[in-house]
Amino acid sequence: MGKFQELRVWQKSKDLAVYIYQVTGKGQFAKDYSLKDQIRRAAVSIPSNIAEGDELDTNKQAVKFFYISKGSCAEVLTQAIIALEIGYLEKKDFLHIEQECQAISGMLTRLIQVRSK
């Protein structure tokens, strides 16, 4: 515990947040302040909650924050699906986000299992 920056799931989720900022800063997406803000906040929530959970004193406390991260991951994917369907995201950007969300969610599931023991 306490070395969240070394966790591969934190690294991947931080990279996803940076990617989300990049793709939402251009085109029609940049003009939709509500959706842009919502997906950005959800994306930042993923690594932030991993970091917060990892810094806590007990695994029980940490797991609670890892579950929040999983929820935020689902939010990002949902908002990306909507953004794709209304023409804000290109298919290649959506596929990257989808792939990363699925990978991060799976990694969080395994982390939760390990920390729950």
Q: If you write DSSP's letter for every residue of 32-54 in order, what string do you get?
A: -HHHHHHHHHHHHHHHHHHHHHH
Show the domains of the chain with their CATH numbers: 4-116 (1.20.1440.60)
C-alpha closest to that of 2 among 45, 50, 43: 50
- According to the model, what pLDDT value does residue 2 have? 60
Question: Could you give the CA distance from residue 103 to residue 106 in angstroms, rounded to a whole number?
Answer: 5
Q: Are 116 and 107 in contact (CB under 8 A)?
A: no
Residue type, 83: A
Residue ranges of the chain whose pLDDT lies below 70: 1-2
Q: Are 7 and 55 in contact (CB under 8 A)?
A: no
